[in-house]
Amino acid sequence: MTINVHNRILLTGAAGGLGKALRERLKANCNVLRLSDRLDFGPAVEREEVAVADLADADAVLSMMQGVDAIIHLGGVSVESPFNPILQANIIGAYNLYEAARKQGVKRVVFASSNHVTGFYKQSETITADQPARPDGLYGLSKAFGEDLSRLYFDRYGIETACVRIGSSFPEPRDRRMLATWLSFDDLHRLITACLTTPVLAHTIIFGMSNNAVTWWDNSRARHVGYVPQDSSDVFRAAVYAKTPPPDLSDAATQYQGGAFVRTGPFE
């Protein structure tokens, strides 16, 4: 299968956990991978370019977008935090990114949204992307803004975006909740590849999860993306049960999909 359909891909958040996991994998998807973060993360190697930039700096974001054919946007605050850093990185930063994409003619974006856009749905519910956002904090709210912003740029300017509501993308599920939310790094790469290569992406919201037996999310509205997960949290289930206590059903973190995010941060 041909997966290299773009000459130059921009990866923001390249110094972060998922950026590091994707750096080598994404080289199969392009001729040149431009890596960006506000942190310095060392020199470019073969078929790489490095652009250190703060997403809140509109001029720097415009300049790093030159010659780019597609964007994987991972950069930003990735956990519940005070409002100002979220405002700078996730709200102003997302606006700067889409304005730069519009000005430089970039037509496809994969946006790292989060399950925390819908964190206040119960773990006993199965939801689709058509249901209203129910953010579980300022972080989830900022990702909901990014989803709406990208829809505006699709409706008005035709920039296609996949809003990938990533569950929990780590080497292994860390607790019982992550048995439902886990997304392996290889499946994350498969999902991004599907978003980059599907003929018509339009504006799509898709939940980023592996093929886990327990799930709270229905991706049937995103079949046109062609994402087929190949990993599953199920192989970790026995080990996770052995090392974690039984769930406390009176705890909001057990009741809601967002887990501990529903009771962290400035709302305590």
Residue (of 109, 73, 121, 119) closest to 93 by Cα position: 73
Nearest CB to ligand 15L, comparing residues 115 and 123: 115
Taking alpha carbons only, the member of 58, 131, 52 closest to residue 91 is 58
Between 2 and 262, CB nearer to ligand NAI: 262
What tokens does 260 get?
């501990």
Using alpha carbons, select from 142, 5, 148 the residue that is nearest to residue 81: 142
Q: Does residue 112 bind ligand NAI (CB under 6 A)?
A: yes
168 versus 212: smaller Cβ distance to ligand 15L: 168
Residues in contact with ligand NAI, shown as a per-residue x/- string from 68 to 97 under the rule CB under 6 A: ------xxxxx---------xx---x----
Total residues in contact with ligand 15L, by rule CB under 6 A: 7
DSSP E strand stretches across the chain: 6-12, 30-37, 48-52, 70-73, 108-114, 127-128, 160-166, 203-208, 217-218
Between the alpha carbon of residue 266 and those of residues 56, 81, 250, the distances in Å are 22, 8, 22
Name the active-site residue from 95, 98, 121, 139: 139
The interface region with ligand 15L, picked from 31-39, 42-50, 113-121, 223-231 by CB under 6 A, is: 113-121
Count of C-beta atoms within a 10 Å radius of residue 234: 15
Stretch that binds ligand 15L, among 55-63, 67-75, 114-122, 202-210 (CB under 6 A): 114-122
Q: How far apart are the first and last CA of the chain?
A: 49
Taking CB under 6 A as the binding criterion, the range among 35-43, 96-104, 121-129, 194-202 that sits at the site for ligand NAI is 35-43
| Sites for ligand NAI among residues 154-193 (CB under 6 A) | 166, 168-169
By CB under 6 A, residue 168 contacts ligand 15L: yes
Q: DSSP letters of 82-137? A: -HHHHIIIIIIHHHHHHHHHHHHT--EEEEEEEGGGGTTSBTT--EETTSPP--SS
Instruction: Give catalytic status of residue 139 as yes or no.
Output: yes
- Kindly tell me which of 78 and 150 has the beta carbon lying closer to ligand 15L: 78
Residue 65 or 135 having the CB closest to ligand 15L: 135
Per CB under 6 A, residues contacting ligand NAI are: 13, 15-19, 37-39, 54-56, 74-78, 88-89, 93, 112, 114, 166, 168-169
**Which residues are part of the catalytic machinery?**
139
